[in-house]
Amino acid sequence: MRSLLSDLISQRLADSSAGTLNKRVYQALQQAIFDGSIMPGSRLPASRDLAKELAISRNTVLASYDQLQAEGYIQTRTGSGTFVTSDLPKDGVIADNAVHHCTPVLSHVVLSERGVRLLKRTGVASQQWGAFMPGVPDVKKFPHDIWRKLQNRLSRHLHPEFLTYSRHGGCPELQQALADYLRIARSVDCTAEQILITSGTHQALDLLAKMLCDPGDVAWIEEPSYWGIRNVLTINGVDIQPVLVDENGMAPPDDFSANTENFRVPKLICVTPSHHYPLGSVMSLARRQKILALASGQGSWVIEDDYDSEFRYSGSPIPALQGLSSDAPVIYIGTFSKTLYPAMRISYVVLPRTLASRLKIAHSELYRGGNGLTQLTLAEFIREGHYAAHIRKMRLIYGKRRNALTRLIEEELGPEYLSEGSNAGLHLILSLPDSVDDVALCAELELLNILARPLSAYYSRPAPRRGLLLGYACVPEEEIEIAFGHIVRCLKRRLQLEGSLRK
């Protein structure tokens, strides 16, 4: 079998006919190393093999290798072969007639206005794993052995339809498994035909914004809220209207009418009623009914993001907003990113019957869904009870970690630092004095590999409070105290400095 390197060198030899063959082979190899076509540390073919593939003399290849080694581009290792030098010489000489295949570099790049706005409000962290990264489950606890056995068994008799593009809005087996699960676990009123499988919640929101909103339409979002929903809606030309959240959830105005000065009629009302993100408050029944009545009266769609409702540590389970009324204008979104692992990239949308077929067609047209084997494995994982068992197991683990972190906050800093009313499933909020810059504190902690997130960053307007989101789900119980110690030391140092400045 010919090597990729020989194909590359053959092409470059064909493009240049000047000079002796020895020099042309040397120049082709040198330029390929210099422009990165052959990466540092790469192993080169044996001279005999490369000569045979290029149909040239071995002495020609040896001469080229010797010259490259003399210039420091390659090195030989006894018994291992010839390798490109890991640290290339900065003053390496490139022949004047070397072939260049570089694309011209533009002097400037002009992004769209919405692209610029998006980059100004990004929330993606440079690291996505470690103490105390919010919103990340303990992926190390995932039952890989069970999953692997299911997948191996199913892959032996896989129909071609699972290896091509999805035409049903997802794997029918997974849609049915989800419909059965959601009716019992979340009181969601749906059939399998209403379920659309998406590659993550962001894709689901992007589809809904494109299909239900025109540029300039208004979406009510919670204040504070998850940065991702703001960005997805904004990039689709939807105007954002932040609505403050209190202990009962989103608090729309009591005297709302079609043309109030501060609130416009929303096309979308986006809520996290089971666990508000990030504050963790649970939307009351009265508030849920008010929002449903408002949406029905104004012709709005309620988007219910039920992202981590499975993890609740006190009180009775809270049924989904979608199940309160059989004809409620609610679009329900769930995800496996919090219960299994984020890289699976499987979420689901329960669509009203009037929207289901059209949005499934649109999803297929825009995103070309796939991952049939993964979806089929997940369906069997749910159907055989492994999913419910995993959630029960993780609920106990997360509950212990939450208790450990709560105890440390109260002992090390005091109960006033523990945010009241937070029922979030995967994180706690460490309340901070208004004088503490939570953004600067998070930047300092990141240097110590502590991945807290600043509460103020979740507000669209000037934040009325400061705090840290501390995700405990991905931190083993025995590591929580050490990691939290870094936070305590950094915070106390800032408070002491602040006190000395006041004096």
Distance between CA 473 and CA 400 in Å, rounded? 10
Burial bucket for residue 111 (CB in 10 Å: 0-12, 13-18, 19+): exposed
How many angstroms separate the first and last alpha carbons of the chain? 78
- pLDDT of 212: 98
pLDDT for 99 beyond 90: no
With a cut of 90, say whether residue 232 has pLDDT above it: yes
Measured CA to CA, the distance from residue 135 to residue 474 in angstroms comes to 9
Give Cβ neighbours of residue 151 (< 8 Å, ≥ 6 apart): 373, 374, 377
What average pLDDT does range 120-147 have in this prediction? 85
Q: CB atoms < 10 A from the CB of 357, how many?
A: 13
The upper half-sphere exposure of residue 131, i.e. CA atoms within 13 Å in the direction of its Cβ, equals 18
- Determine the Cα–Cα distance for residues 429 and 413; give it in Å rounded to an integer: 13
Q: Tell me, what's the pLDDT at 19?
A: 77
pLDDT confidence band for 206 (50 / 70 / 90): very high
Specify the DSSP class assigned to residue 457: G
Average pLDDT over residues 473-501: 87
Please state, for a pLDDT cut of 90, what percent of the chain lies above it.
57
Confidence of residue 420 (pLDDT cuts 50, 70, 90): confident
CA gap 229, 206 in Å, rounded: 9
Strand 239-246 relative to strand 427-432, pairing = unpaired
- Report the alpha-carbon distance of residue 384 to residue 170 in Å, rounded: 20
pLDDT of residue 11: 82
CA distance 274 to 423: 9
The pLDDT of residue 1 is: 47
Residues 6 or more apart whose Cβ sits within 8 Å of residue 460? 221, 223, 224, 225, 230, 240, 242
Give the pLDDT score at 101: 44
CA distance 38 to 165: 35
H or E segment and range at residue 303: strand 301-305
Considering only the C-alpha atoms of the chain, give the largest distance between any 2 of them, rounded to a whole number of Å.
Answer: 89
164 pLDDT band (50/70/90 cuts)? confident
Q: What pLDDT score does 236 carry?
A: 95
Residue 299 zone, left/alpha/beta (φ > 0; ψ -120 to 50; rest): left
Report yes or no: 91 and 425 within 8 Å, Cβ to Cβ.
Answer: no
Task: Determine the distance from the C-alpha atom of residue 407 to the mean position of all C-alpha atoms in its chain, rounded to a whole number.
Answer: 30
Return all residues near 323 (Cβ < 8 A) that are at least 6 apart.
Answer: 186, 187, 188, 189
264, β-bridge pairs: 259
Supply 102's token pair: 């570089």
Backbone angles phi, psi at 413, to 5 degrees: -120, -30
Phi-psi label, residue 200: left if phi above 0, alpha if psi -120 to 50, beta otherwise: left
Q: pLDDT-derived band of residue 8, with 50, 70 and 90 as boundaries?
A: confident
What is d(CA 489, CA 466) in angstroms, rounded to the nearest whole number?
18
* Residue with the larger pLDDT of the pair 131 and 260: 131
Q: Tell me, what amino acid is at 415? A: P
Residue indicated by tokens 């936070």: 487
